[in-house]
Amino acid sequence: GQQLNQSPQSMFIQEGEDVSMNCTSSSIFNTWLWYKQDPGEGPVLLIALYKAGELTSNGRLTAQFGITRKDSFLNISASIPSDVGIYFCAGQLEGGSEKLVFGKGTKLTVNP
Amino acid sequence: DSGVTQTPKHLITATGQRVTLRCSPRSGDLSVYWYQQSLDQGLQFLIQYYNGEERAKGNILERFSAQQFPDLHSELNLSSLELGDSALYFCASSAPGLAGAAGELFFGEGSRLTVL
């Protein structure tokens, strides 16, 4: 249905390592977005993807809109301590309203 | 600073009570969205308003209601509160009809509701 399956649920990595997380669904999405939430804050948009196959970078972050339009991944290269937080994927369903459906998040911990 | 303002930041109340959460969207944004985030959960869509009209509805309980006023600020009313209503409630806004901006929501810092 409209569920977004986001994995992994949590990650513990060393500073400098690369990170990869993804979202999948059985539904087709027109838009994929990746948000980061710091403790006590609202989610902040990192990357927005609008076309199947689109690969977009924002600094050390790279995200791709899957060809099937049912998945997306986010990579973080050379992680630093301030990358700590919860990363959410979100999608706008094909034929749906403007609302976003969110994954349950990936909690990232970076050890210095 | 996203430009979206939510008040109050924290609220503690008792079961059975009613509270109102307030949101001011970014200047110029016509759409307001309300999301609920429970502990260790993702964001659950509650309701969306566009220029004063209800646009979309999610899994919003009948005990909850919302509205958007002519000045575009929005209020989320939660009544007959239960322990399980304790959560972070986020408001978000988006720009109207910008090409390529679909789905780009700007979130406030949230209102943390604790029901005792």
Q: Mutation test of the interface with chain B: which of A4, A32, A50, A98, choosing the one with the most B Cβ atoms within 10 A?
A: A98
Q: Which residues in chain A are contacts of B102 at CB distance < 8 A?
A: 30-31, 50, 92, 98
User: Which of A26 and B41 is assigned the larger pLDDT?
Assistant: A26
B48-95 per-position pLDDT tens digit: 999 999 988 998 999 999 999 999 999 999 999 999 999 999 999 987
Tell me if the bond preceding A8 is cis, omega within 30° of 0.
yes
User: Which of A62 and B2 is assigned the larger pLDDT?
Assistant: A62
Enumerate the β-bridge partners of residue B66.
B76
Is the per-residue pLDDT at B96 higher than 80? no
CA-CA distances (angstroms) from residue B34 to A66, A72, B39, B55? Answer: 28, 24, 17, 12
How far is residue A35's CA from residue B60's CA, in Å, rounded to a whole number? 23
Using the beta-carbon criterion (under 8 Å), do A48 and B107 form an inter-chain contact? no
Using the beta-carbon criterion (under 8 Å), do B45 and A105 form an inter-chain contact? no
- CB-CB contact of A83 with A22 (8 Å): no
Using the beta-carbon criterion (under 8 Å), do A100 and B45 form an inter-chain contact? yes
A25-48 per-position pLDDT tens digit: 999 998 999 999 998 889 999 999
Q: Which residues in chain A are contacts of B104 at CB distance < 8 A?
A: 33, 45, 48
E strands, chain A, in order: 5-7, 10-14, 19-24, 29-37, 44-49, 55-58, 61-65, 71-76, 85-93, 101-102, 106-111
Q: Which residues in chain A are contacts of B90 at CB distance < 8 A?
A: 42-43
CA-CA distances (angstroms) from residue A36 to A13, A19, A44, A89, B26? Answer: 17, 14, 5, 9, 19
Region A49-68: mean pLDDT is 95
